[in-house]
Structure 1
Amino acid sequence: MLGAMEAKQPRLEIEYCTRCRWLPRATWMAQELLTTFEAELGEVALVPGTGGVFEVRLDGESLWSRQSDAAFTDAAELKRLVRDRIAPDRRLGHSERASEH
């Protein structure tokens, strides 16, 4: 049980299309984000959906959606989007260096 003074850690959701068979992509992305933000995230949930959906949400706020971007994004970009909201001063190592070039 959380104490009164403890801050609630964020909940990340990855909604994926079951018909498109995107569960492997969703689990891989969940693993990447949990490995990077294991101390900052409270949980990562995989949410089955249909209609070609693949969306990443943090506490209900959409961070990235395949609906608004026809191509899939990579793990480095999603890590940056999550980092910017939950740990803005944190460096991401090689993921961040790749985006600087």
Structure 2
Amino acid sequence: MSTVEIEYCVPCGFRGRALDVQRAILSGLERELDSVRLVMGDHGVFRVSVDDEVVYDKADAGDEFDVDAIVRAVRSQAV
């Protein structure tokens, strides 16, 4: 079982994006995870980690944001 952390920038208004990712992860992987945690951040951060391993980082992805791709990355790291 794995722990997922979604860190998002509060001043940037990324809470909705974080909630969308959280909802999608829980919909597809709820029985395979220990927890999905939201962490408030700043400075434009939007990062998804599984057991402290980053699977998505906005800093690397730029404007590309694909919820399904993030869920697939979480699944491949968590399983």
Shorter-chain TM-score category? over 0.9
Match of 1:30 in 2: 22
> Which whole-Å CA distance do the structure 2 matches of 1:80 and 1:53 have between them?
20
> Which whole-Å CA distance do the structure 2 matches of 1:72 and 1:48 have between them?
21
> When the two structures are aligned, how many residues end up with a matched partner?
79
Match of 1:17 in 2: 9
Aligned partner (choices 63, 74, 78) of residue 82 of structure 1: 74
Q: For residue 44 of structure 1, what is the amino acid of its counterpart?
A: V
When normalised by structure 2's length, the TM-score is 0.93
Question: Greater helix share, 1 or 2?
Answer: 2
Aligned-pair Cα RMSD in Å: 1.0
* SS of corresponding position for 1:16: strand
The Cα of 1:68 is off from its aligned counterpart by: 0.8
* SS of corresponding position for 2:38: strand
Question: Greater strand share, 1 or 2?
Answer: 2
Which has the greater radius of gyration?
1
Q: For residue 79 of structure 1, what is the amino acid of its counterpart?
A: V
Gaps of 5+ in 2: none
The Cα of 1:73 is off from its aligned counterpart by: 2.1
Matches within 5 A, 1:1-101: 9-87=1-79
Deviations 1:56-83, CA, capped at 9 Å, x for gaps: 0001110010011111321110121112
Pick which of 32-41 and 68-77 moved more: 68-77
Gaps of 5+ in 1: 1-8, 88-101
When normalised by structure 1's length, the TM-score is 0.74
